[in-house]
Structure formats: C-alpha cells, structure tokens
Amino acid sequence: MAEEARWYVVHTYSGYENAVADTVMKAAENRSMQDLIQEVNIPLETVTEITDSVAKTVDRKVFPGYVLVKMILTDESWHLVRNVRGVTGFVGSGNKPIPLTDEEISALGVEKHNVVVDFEVGSRVSVNDGPLEGFSGVVEEVDTDRRIARVVVSMFGRETPVELEFDQIELVKD
C-alpha cells in the first residue's frame, strides 16, 4: 500500500477512552489489521494536584472524550473503529474523518522525533538568526525535548547565558 498512515480523532463516551483504545488495538490484532491500524494514543498531561495540603502528581486526559488513532483509512479500518463499543464517531464532516495536520500532531506531542544535532555541551557555536545574530558562544546545556540549547554568549564584556532554538545556532568549524 502506497498510502501513509495518518492520525485521526475518534469521539468516545466520556470515561470510555481507555476501553476504546484497548478494544481498537485488540480488534486490529484479532483481524490482522495492524498494518492499517498502527497506533492508538490518549494525550495525557502530568498535573500536580494539592488537596488537604498534600501534593499528588496525576496524569490527566488533555481531551476527555477523544482518542487519537494512527491508521490508513479504508472502509474496513473505518468500520472496525466506528463499531467499537463507546465510539460515537470520527471528528470530521459527515462520515468522512479528517486527519490531523503535521503541525497539530507536533503541538500535541503525539509523535516524538529524534533530534540529531552536530553540537554538544562545550561546543563553540555561532548564532545565525534572531537578535543575537553574529554572536558566538559555548553550549552550556542541550534540551532535545524543547529543541533548545543554552549558550553562554559574551555581550559587552559579560558572559550571558541565553536560550536559543536549534535552528538559530550552528557549530563553528575549526
């Protein structure tokens, strides 16, 4: 199949998200449809709740009542997901589900992309974009999750740490 799997949003009864996710994956396995239905995700956020002066960390659903499914949309895969108990339908117009855009997927943090950079802590880099363009400095910290590097830049005779996005800096070749 030449078609690429896309992420679709499935609307469920509130509180049925986990059951729907499990059932969709089991049904895909039982019918040997793992090539069509590849992944199911329930976006969660970690929140610290303080009750009775006791802090407790819990995972909370970002979108209660919704489940994300990565699948190749065919009549067969549509029917499998649509007929799972607890599913009320796909998000889209009429009976035509609309896939999430790449920007929406990255904003939700559903898919993690490995970031490979050519610099590391201690590397000398130059700033090629933004208000500090033309400055150079030394990498102090690299945060691949946020795609940010903390760079110590010498400005006006002072060492100043600044956070820069990966695409704003480049390795200085010696």
pTM (2 decimals)?
0.63
Same domain, 21 and 72: yes
Same domain flag for 145 and 79: no
Q: Looking at the structure, do residues 23 and 79 belong to the same domain, yes or no? A: yes
Handedness of CA 13, 19, 22, 25 (dihedral sign): negative
pLDDT greater than 80 at residue 94: no
Q: Which two tokens stand for residue 57?
A: 């960390």
Flag whether pLDDT at 1 surpasses 50.
Answer: no
Work out the burial of residue 170: count CB atoms within 10 Å of its CB; fewer than 13 is exposed, 13-18 middle, 19 or more buried. Answer: middle
What pLDDT is recorded for position 112?
Answer: 59
Whose CA is closest to 127, among 90, 95, 164, 74? 164
Calculate what percentage of the chain has a pLDDT beyond 70: 94
Domain edge (last residue) among 74, 108, 142: 108
Handedness of CA 134, 136, 140, 145 (dihedral sign): positive
pLDDT tier at 115, thresholds 50, 70, 90: low
Domain residues for the domain of 76 are: 6-108
Both 68 and 21 in a single domain? yes
Top-ranked range on mean pLDDT: pick from 71-75, 90-94, 117-121, 154-158: 71-75
